[in-house]
Amino acid sequence: MAELQALLFDVDGTLADTEKDGHRPAFNMAFEEAGLDWNWDVDLYGKLLAVTGGKERIRFYLEKFNTDFVKPDNFDDFVKGLHAAKTKFYTQLMAEGKIPLRPGVEALINEAKESGMRMAVVTTTTPENVTALLDNTLGKGSESWFEVIAAGDIVPAKKPAPDIYIWALEQMSLTPDQAIAFEDSRNGILSSVAADLKTIVTINDYTKEDDFSDAVLVLDQMGDNTNPFTVLSGDAHGKDYLDLELVKKIHAAN
């Protein structure tokens, strides 16, 4: 097995509980601003997460859950406008400190940075959302800690397609066996595994029932020395929080 060179992080649900507490209310704020009576509650939003990408999620909602809505002639622009407004409100929520990082995330990223481990973000969310999250949790300029920000529409096919992971690896001149991915959802692990990446999963309320049989380790959270994780599947080598030493052991294991 090649030596571990890079950590590839998904964002939504993995670094922070952004779906329930960030994107969902931001969508609702955008709908209200546009004069729409749509409201995505927690349960409905869980169903909409079957589709990755915000613009795609709006389309899916209208195709499956709000079929009576009369689409305007400029439908593509309508969807793009709603999504842009949602991004604005999401950034606002971030700036207000409404969406913290999940337990253990900051510690692992800081340890990786200090040790010189290469890192990248690999996500379907927009680059603006990535910047907002990193700036308002890890601090201004923290985006520079990540060698590559693979985000948004940088590849046409979003997760569960492997394209965005393949693109990130190409930008870093890495082979899949030189990196490990961190995901939280079925679509995410389908994407990473299809790119031949070993993957560690931290579940959340929306994804706890997903099939993660392809993950090398499934945890309830990354955890830290005061807030241990629970192992749901895989071998944590006797550890109770995810640090760089454990990540390297998991990567090296068959």
Please list the active-site residues.
Answer: 10, 12
d(CA 12, CA 9): 10
Half-sphere exposure of 200 (CA within 13 A, CB side): 30
Q: Which residues of 54-93 are buried (b: 16+ CB within 10 A; e: fewer)?
A: bbebbbbbbeeeeeeeeeeeeeeeebeebbebbbebbbeb
The counts of H helices and E strands in the chain are 10, 7
d(CA 165, CA 156): 13
| Residue 114 neighbours by CB under 8 Å, 6+ apart | none
Pairing state between β 179-183 and 6-9 = parallel
Half-sphere exposure of 44 (CA within 13 A, CB side): 16
